């Protein structure tokens, strides 16, 4: 299953996407018992070696639908969600050709229905079997700025920075900022490929993120990649000091998901 802490590069959301959500027929959420029975199939499929490999390769396809939906559906999101509230879960039944045959939400709400309709439009690679059950877990607080946020220490690991990037991206303001940077990030990647020849190979063969910490004025400070990533030093030197528009807050982490 995929825990949608939402690891993603910036993705834009336009009018056509909103219309596709509105045109999708609504679905009545199953009873709790029926949903749990279906979720057991998610657990079984994701526990296999083939399932784990397939899900890791389809993160981008999931994000391409989920990230814009979190923005376009935000007006329907319940306010002041409790951290004790249950996670929103979605079950996607994937056909042999990678299309979503059926999408089911764990709750009956206009917000969950909006997200479910968006996910039903996703297109994945061919799954390990026809009728593969792909589970998406969305924390109840996704869309809020993380409470009690403190700056990361200078020696924070790549995993810690990536987790912070996820927190920033899960906030409403953070997500809107990231989506608006799509063209900026695309242009940056082109520059890096020219300046750092080995980076193109890293983009194709790796599965990691390029993470940048922005100051309150949008200037890039720390640049973090996995220690073993090709062209790491060249990329860091080329990106540090670059200028983006002012982020939602000082110390905001902007990232680009790379690889398969």
Instruction: Output the pLDDT for position 248.
Output: 79
Of all residues in the chain, the percent with pLDDT exceeding 90 is 47
More confident residue, 230 or 13: 230
Tell me which residue has tokens 């807050």.
Answer: 249
Q: Select, from the ranges 12-16, 244-248, 252-256, the one with the highest average predicted confidence (pLDDT).
A: 252-256
Name residue 137's beta-bridge partners.
3, 89
Q: CA-to-CA distance for 212 and 258, rounded, in angstroms? A: 14
For residue 198, what pLDDT band results from cuts at 50, 70 and 90? confident
More confident residue, 259 or 82: 259
Q: CA-to-CA distance for 139 and 147, rounded, in angstroms? A: 14
Instruction: Output the pLDDT for position 185.
Output: 93
**Is 115 exposed, middle or buried (CB count within 10 Å of its CB: 0-12, 13-18, 19+)?**
buried
- Quick check: 208 pLDDT over 90? no
Nearest to 19 by CA among 114, 103, 95: 114
Phi first, then psi: give them for residue 43, nearest 5 degrees.
-60, -40
Instruction: Output the pLDDT for position 213.
Output: 95
Polymer length in residues for the chain: 260
Helical (H) or strand (E) element with 110: helix 110-119
198's CB contacts (< 8 A; 6+ apart) are: 230, 231, 234
Mean predicted lDDT score pLDDT of the chain:
82
pTM of the entire predicted model: 0.54
Instruction: Note the pLDDT tens digit of each residue in 64-84.
Output: 788 777 767 877 877 655 556
For residue 91, what pLDDT band results from cuts at 50, 70 and 90? very high
- Quick check: 24 pLDDT over 60? no
Instruction: Output the pLDDT for position 68.
Output: 72
**Is 148 exposed, middle or buried (CB count within 10 Å of its CB: 0-12, 13-18, 19+)?**
exposed
Instruction: Output the pLDDT for position 159.
Output: 93
For residue 62, what pLDDT band results from cuts at 50, 70 and 90? confident
Nearest to 209 by CA among 194, 190, 191, 189: 189
Instruction: Output the pLDDT for position 235.
Output: 94
Dihedral of the alpha carbons of 171, 153, 216, 10, in degrees to the nearest 10: -40
């Amino acid at each position: 299953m995929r825990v949608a802490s939402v690891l993603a590069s910036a993705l834009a959301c336009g009018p056509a996407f909103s219309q596709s959500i509105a045109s999708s027929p609504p679905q009545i959420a199953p009873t709790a018992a029926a949903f749990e029975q279906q979720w057991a199939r998610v657990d079984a499929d994701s526990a296999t070696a083939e399932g784990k490999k397939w899900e890791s390769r389809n993160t981008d396809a999931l994000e391409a639908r989920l990230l814009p939906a979190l923005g376009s559906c935000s007006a329907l999101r319940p306010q002041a969600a409790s951290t004790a509230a249950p996670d929103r879960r979605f079950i996607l039944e994937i056909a042999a050709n990678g299309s979503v045959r059926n999408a089911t939400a764990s709750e009956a709400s206009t917000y969950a229905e909006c997200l479910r309709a968006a996910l039903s439009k996703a297109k994945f690679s061919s799954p390990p079997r026809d009728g593969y059950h792909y589970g998406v877990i969305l924390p109840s607080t996704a869309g809020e700025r993380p409470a009690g946020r403190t700056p990361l220490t200078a020696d924070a690991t790549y995993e810690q920075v990536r987790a912070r990037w996820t927190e920033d991206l899960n906030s409403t303001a953070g997500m809107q900022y990231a989506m608006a940077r799509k063209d900026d990030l695309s242009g940056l990647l082109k520059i890096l490929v020219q300046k750092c020849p080995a980076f193109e190979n890293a983009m194709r063969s790796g599965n990691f993120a390029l993470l940048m910490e922005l100051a309150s004025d949008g200037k890039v400070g720390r640049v973090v990649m996995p220690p073993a990533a090709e062209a790491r030093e060249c990329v860091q030197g080329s990106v540090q000091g670059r200028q983006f528009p002012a982020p939602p807050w000082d110390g905001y982490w902007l990232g680009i998901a790379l690889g398969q």
